[in-house]
C-alpha cells in the first residue's frame, strides 16, 4: 500500500512484516512493521532498519569475552581456575565509542604461605564482565581455593583434601577437590575440575571451542593440580578440540605450566620432588581476550589499543589481546 496523506487525519504509511520488508530499500524509506509494531526507516549507509525516533543507527555484533585465568598453587596444590567465558550478541549504535578491557592472568604461588592470584576481569561496554579465574589452593596456609569465573582447585596433602572454588553462573565451573596427596584441577568453562586423590592429581576442566575468528580455538581451560614425585603422571591442563588452554600441573619440583596466553587458561600447580626435595611453584594464569565480530558493511575501522583486525566471511573480526583497554567506534 502506498503512503497517503489526509490533511485532517494524518499520513498513512505502507505496511510490511520483518520478513517482507522491501528487497531494495533506499535511505529514508519509511513503513509500518506489523511484526514489531513500530514505524521504521531505512539507512543505506549502515544497511539497517531503525525505529523512527530512535537515536542513531543500530546494528548487531557478536562477541567473545574471556577473563584472565587464575594462578596455580604451591606444592601438592590446586590448579588455577579458568577465566570467565562469555559469548553472545550485542547492539552497537553508530558513532558510539565502546571500550574493551583485557584482563591479565593471575600470578602463581612461589613458596610456603604465599597465595596464588585470581585472574583479572575482561569487559566490553554494555556486556556483563567476564570474571577472572579463581586461584588454586596452596600447601601451608592459606590453603583455600578461590572462586572466580571458574573456581580454583583444592589442596592435596591433607587427610581429606580441601574443596575447589566456586564458579560464576554462566561463565565457568567449580574447581576439583584436593585428595590426600594430589591437588584438584581448576574448573574450566566446559567442565568441572577433576578431583585429586591419594594416588593422582586432578586434570583441569575442559575449555570451550569457539569459531568467532573463523578458526576454531579453545578458551578457558582449567589448570592441572600438583602431585608428589611418587606418581609418574603429571596432570594436564584443561584441553579440548582443537587445543589446550590450561597449564599442566607437575609431579616434581618444577614450576607448574602457565595458562595459554589470550585463552584465559588456569595456571598449573606445583608438585614435590624427591623425598625432602624442593616443592614446585605454581604457574601463572593465561591472559584474557576480547573479540568482536562486526558485519563488514558496518565496520568503521576506528579502533584503539592495537587490536588484530581480520575478516571471516561477511564479518570483520576485532581482537584485543594486550592487557589493558582499547576502543571501537561503531
What does the DSSP assignment read for 140-156? Answer: SS---PPPBSSPPPPP-
Q: What is the pLDDT of residue 55?
A: 54
The answer to whether 283 and 105 are in contact (CB under 8 A) is no
What does the pLDDT read at residue 282? Answer: 96
Q: What is the pLDDT of residue 301?
A: 94
Q: What residues of the chain score a pLDDT lower than 50?
A: none
3-state secondary structure (DSSP) of residue 63: strand
Cα 111 to Cα 73, 164, 214, 249: the distances in Å are: 9, 20, 42, 16
Q: For position 259, what pLDDT does the model report?
A: 97
**pLDDT at residue 6, rounded to an integer:** 63
Tell me the C-alpha distance between 232 and 244, whole Å. 21
Q: What is the pTM of this model?
A: 0.84
**What is the pLDDT, as a whole number, of residue 158?**
66
Whole-angstrom Cα distance, residue 117 to residue 123?
A: 19
pLDDT at residue 200, rounded to an integer: 85
Q: Alpha-carbon distance 292 to 213, whole Å? A: 9
CA distance 301 to 319: 13
Determine whether 86 is exposed, middle or buried from the number of CB atoms within 10 Å of its CB (0-12, 13-18, 19+).
Answer: buried
Amino acid at each position: 500500500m502506498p503512503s497517503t496523506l489526509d490533511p485532517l487525519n494524518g499520513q498513512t504509511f505502507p505496511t510490511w512484516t520483518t520478513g517482507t520488508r522491501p528487497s531494495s530499500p533506499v535511505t529514508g524509506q519509511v513503513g509500518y512493521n506489523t511484526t514489531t509494531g513500530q514505524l521504521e526507516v531505512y539507512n543505506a549507509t549502515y544497511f539497517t532498519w531503525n525505529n523512527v525516533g530512535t537515536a542513531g543507527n543500530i546494528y548487531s555484533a557478536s562477541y567473545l569475552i574471556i577473563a584472565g585465568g587464575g594462578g596455580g598453587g604451591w606444592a601438592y596444590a590446586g590448579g588455577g581456575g579458568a577465566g570467565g567465558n562469555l559469548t553472545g550478541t550485542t547492539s552497537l549504535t553508530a558513532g558510539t565509542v565502546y571500550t574493551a578491557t583485557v584482563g591479565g592472568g593471575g600470578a602463581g604461588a612461589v613458596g610456603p604461605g604465599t597465595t596464588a592470584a585470581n585472574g583479572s576481569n575482561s569487559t566490553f561496554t554494555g556486556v556483563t564482565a567476564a570474571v577472572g579465574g579463581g586461584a588454586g589452593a596452596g600447601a601451608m596456609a592459606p590453603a583455600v581455593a578461590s572462586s572466580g569465573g571458574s573456581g580454583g582447585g583444592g589442596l592435596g596433602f591433607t587427610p581429606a583434601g580441601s574443596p575447589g572454588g566456586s564458579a560464576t553462573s554462566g561463565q565457568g565451573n567449580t574447581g576439583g577437590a584436593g585428595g590426600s596427596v594430589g591437588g584438584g584441577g581448576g574448573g574450566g568453562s566446559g567442565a568441572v575440575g577433576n578431583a585429586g586423590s591419594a594416588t593422582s592429581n586432578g586434570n583441569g576442566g575442559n575449555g570451550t571451542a569457539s569459531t568467532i575468528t573463523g578458526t576454531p580455538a579453545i578458551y578457558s581451560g582449567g589448570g592441572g593440580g600438583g602431585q608428589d614425585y611418587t606418581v609418574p603422571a603429571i596432570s594436564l591442563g584443561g584441553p579440548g578440540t582443537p587445543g589446550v588452554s590450561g597449564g599442566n600441573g607437575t609431579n616434581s619440583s618444577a614450576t607448574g605450566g602457565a595458562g595459554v596466553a589470550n585463552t584465559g587458561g588456569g595456571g598449573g600447580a606445583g608438585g614435590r620432588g624427591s623425598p625432602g626435595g624442593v616443592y614446585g611453584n605454581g604457574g601463572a594464569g593465561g591472559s584474557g581476550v576480547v573479540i568482536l565480530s562486526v558485519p563488514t558493511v558496518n565496520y568503521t575501522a576506528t579502533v584503539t589499543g592495537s587490536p588484530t583486525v581480520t575478516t571471516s566471511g561477511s564479518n570483520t573480526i576485532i581482537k584485543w589481546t594486550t592487557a589493558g583497554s582499547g576502543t571501537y567506534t561503531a
